[in-house]
Chain A
């Protein structure tokens, strides 16, 4: 529990404000990799028990099938200035986890959606959800460049993902700190623009 390095787990006492972004996407898309590449701490994991709709079971009784499951959430942090710390929460993209998002999206700067071009269809569900909530939670798309994936231009991807014209699409290598920071910066830049009324 209290592993090594507990001395540097704490934040500088000057920090006054915590800010958060969500990093969302399908399983295996690189959420934890991206968080880990920019985080100043080794990504931590916390688990939440929640009731979710069952998947893949026919609903014969006319009642919604629910099941209790434990959802793991990985997160990291960056102390951005003397005053501000940024938390990055990795969340699974499926619709059935929306309740978990709901609690976390409150007060968030926005969501960075990670996409794998080898299986674009796995991103549709999360993008649909985000389109519905775009007024309260701005989002940007980060295309994680897997080595064996075919490169597509952002315009082609924008079309394939059916994104609104203003939604930023950035390429990134989740293993690379600078690249991941650039993707996060694109999201924050967009959040600022949306707030200023010029998305």
Chain B
């Protein structure tokens, strides 16, 4: 494990994995965005990369993007690009990518507060 701010090299440069892109195609993709496999009977095309396959496998059940990144040992920025592609192509479904889809903010905050108070 590396300490905060310490440099660690990788064999493959991140821009190789993302085919040169630094930003995801969707601006609603965030580290906490929840991802899940859309349809287990729909395989990726043969041209899919190793990382795309790994991410899809990782998200066979509901998981956040940042957790998938940590488990796959890839930077969040890289997984954001891959995840965004897979959502665009319909292989992954993103939840809570768009703010305020279900509840107004205040109600949501109140629910968070109630949840935290139950921990005390």
Q: Is the CB of A185 within 8 A of B113?
A: yes
CA distance A9 to B59 in the complex (A): 11
Q: Is the CB of A18 within 8 A of B34?
A: yes
Q: Is the CB of A195 within 8 A of B75?
A: no
Q: Is the CB of A77 within 8 A of B64?
A: yes
Q: Is the CB of B71 within 8 A of A1?
A: yes
Kindly supply a per-residue 1/0 record for chain A positions 65-90, scoring 1 wherever the CB is within 8 Å of any chain B CB and 0 otherwise: 00011111101011011011111010
Task: Give the chain A neighbours of B61 by CB distance below 8 A.
Answer: 10-11, 13
Q: Is the CB of B111 within 8 A of A69?
A: no
Task: Give the chain A neighbours of B6 by CB distance below 8 A.
Answer: 70, 72
CA distance A78 to B2 in the complex (A): 25
Task: Give the chain A neighbours of B76 by CB distance below 8 A.
Answer: 46, 48, 73
Number of A interface residues in the complex (CB < 8 A): 58
Q: How large is the interface on B (under 10, 10 to 19, 20 to 34, 35 or more residues)?
A: 35 or more
A142 is an interface residue with CB less than 8 A from chain B: no
CB distance from B113 to the nearest CB of A (A): 5
CB distance from A165 to the nearest CB of B (A): 22
Which of B45-53, B82-90, B100-108 lines the interface with chain A?
B100-108
CB distance from B16 to the nearest CB of A (A): 13
A107 is an interface residue with CB less than 8 A from chain B: yes
Q: Is the CB of A181 within 8 A of B4?
A: no
B72 is an interface residue with CB less than 8 A from chain A: yes
CB distance from A154 to the nearest CB of B (A): 19
Interface residues of B in 1-32 (CB under 8 A from A): 1-8, 14, 30-32
A70 partner, pick from B8, B31, B112, beta carbons under 8 A: B8
Task: Give the chain B neighbours of A107 by CB distance below 8 A.
Answer: 30, 32, 99
Q: Is the CB of A49 within 8 A of B75?
A: yes
Task: Give the chain B neighbours of A16 by CB distance below 8 A.
Answer: 95-96, 102
Q: Which chain B residue has the least Cβ–Cβ distance from A83?
A: B111
Q: Is the CB of B105 within 8 A of A195?
A: yes
Interface centre among B34, B70, B73 (most CB of A within 10 A): B70
Between A and B, 22 residue pairs with Cβ closer than 8 Å are A1-B73, A11-B34, A11-B64, A15-B62, A17-B103, A17-B108, A18-B95, A19-B32, A20-B32, A41-B67, A44-B71, A46-B70, A69-B5, A70-B8, A72-B4, A78-B116, A80-B115, A85-B64, A86-B116, A181-B117, A188-B109, A195-B105
